[in-house]
Amino acid sequence: MESTGTAASGRDYGTGLVLFGLFELLVGLLFLAKAVLFALLSIPGMMPAAGRFGGDVPLAALLALAPAAFFVSLGFGSIAARRWARALSLAFSLVWLSIGVLCLAFGLVWVPKIMAAVHAAAGEAPRSARQTAAALARAGAIAATAAFVLPAASALFYGNAGVARECERRDPQARWTDRVPTGVLALIVVLGLAALLAIQIGFSTSRQRLYFGHALGVAPRAGWAALGIAEIAVAGGLARMRRWAWPASLGVIVVRSAASIAITRHLAAAPEAARIFAAGATEARSRAILEAVRILRPFDALTLFFGVVSAAALALAVGVGPAFRRRAGPEPAPG
């Protein structure tokens, strides 16, 4: 019997929708497992070893529910060939691919330098050129698969016109994503990711200590929480194609960019920041590692990375402006 996913071209798009949907479902279930695990850890006396996480355990459980719901919904939607699932999967894949390419570029330049400096400062026996090349090749292959191959394959599949026609055939009902351009959907995904990070900083004392060296006061915590709420509100307005949402997206991206760059500049100036490269080492070895890493100025490079990411997000928001204004619906009447 011919597959229901076989289009006029003879290609079985239904099988691809199921396979990619199963992958998305697996990712969602992993986030759900994390939410359940951290929820158990948050029960007093359930697992005493969880005490080192402090009060961040319930927050981690709650924040894991959002990506779990997103990916589980996408997975089932793709398997069922829903139009909205294809559109959102394409938008997420494009964002994933863009961030992945930037991370790969950053990693290819800086990770080998940092690892070489750490090994040399730690007094470890130098590896042969062949051993070093093999280790970097293995790490590079894993990173390239996660940051480029998988998102590129997903973007190419969900962006295929035949896949779009197959979803339209099997899901003839008009969906909200039909009137939202792919670029706007990608911007919604970006704002959703940014909101999760902002809320985490606002309520997680461990994140605050990591980024700022100390727990934040009430005002800055409220500011980060407000930024996350604003990003969620703007993402909701973009999804409904409200005219106010596009200029608002430019505003929150500018604020987010300034905040992200400020954090990395603070890390670059903080004397204790490089200690993440010397975790678990002896005091003498730690000092040697920190000095070797500090010369490379990795947090200055991280500032540049977030600057590029911020510029890309702002360029995306500016780029969707004309299409957004053409498709945006009128504001609802007062009352």
Residues 6 or more apart in contact with residue 231 via CB below 8 angstroms: 191, 192, 194, 195, 198, 252, 256
Helix (H, G, I), strand (E, B) or coil at 87: helix
Q: Are 202 and 56 in contact (CB under 8 A)?
A: no
Question: What integer is the mean pLDDT of 4-20?
Answer: 73
Say whether pLDDT at 330 is over 80.
Answer: no
Question: What integer is the mean pLDDT of 159-185?
Answer: 95
Q: How far apart are CA 86 and CA 194, in angstroms?
A: 22
Where does the chain show beta strands of DSSP type E?
Answer: none
Q: Are 313 and 253 in contact (CB under 8 A)?
A: yes
Say whether pLDDT at 137 is over 70.
Answer: yes
Q: How far apart are CA 210 and CA 230, in angstroms?
A: 24
pLDDT at 1: 38
More confident call, 209 vs 246: 246
More confident call, 104 vs 116: 104
Question: What integer is the mean pLDDT of 76-90?
Answer: 97
Question: What integer is the mean pLDDT of 40-60?
Answer: 66
pLDDT at 325: 75
Q: What pLDDT band is residue 10 in, cutting at 50, 70 and 90? A: very low
pLDDT at 2: 43
The two tokens of residue 199 are: 């809320």
Question: What integer is the mean pLDDT of 177-195?
Answer: 95
